[in-house]
Amino acid sequence: MSDTSTATPESLSQTLAESGLRSTPQRELVFNVLLKKRDHPTADEVFARVKAEMPTISLATVYNCLETLVQCRVVRAVNFERGPTRYCPNQKPHAHFHDESTGSTHDIDLPPGLLDQVKSILPDGYDSNSVEIIFRGKAKD
């Protein structure tokens, strides 16, 4: 059973190509680091993880790569409070749960139809192409 929720490493170079962008070791590594530990890291955290494998990479490049991955829609940028942007490789539509006691962020699967249901509250004249749902609270564990 293959995971359709995220692009696989092999498919990244294809996705990049489809956008007229090149596959580079930096882009591949940044993406792999996001896939490996899905804790919604900041750019700085991605930088630290990536540097362990590619010590010469620069922070500017990490920002560039993340931006590129977001443009290609293989990664989502998440902002739920002032503070560094966080990055998420989960391609499946999902909500975010921000645990206020630990500071950690969890993905919450959405039951089919929920997004449409939520979109249906929009008055006439509002045409939405994306819905973001953010929970805040405390999670067991």
Closer by beta carbon to Zn ion, 23 or else 135: 135
Contact by Cβ (8 Å): 21, 68: yes
Closer by beta carbon to Mn ion, 2 or else 103: 103
Binding mask 84-123 for its own copies (x = CB under 8 A): -x---------x-x--------x-xxxx--x--xxx-xxx
* Dist CA 88 CA 135 (whole Å): 16
From residue 95, how far is each of 33, 47, 51, 92 by CA, in Å? 21, 25, 30, 10
The pair phi, psi for residue 57, each rounded to 5°, is -65, 150
Based on the shown chain and the rule CB under 7 A, indicate whether residue 73 belongs to the binding site for DNA: no
Closer by beta carbon to Mn ion, 62 or else 117: 62
Contact positions vs its own copies (CB under 8 A): 77, 79-82, 85, 95, 97, 106, 108-111, 114, 117-119, 121-141
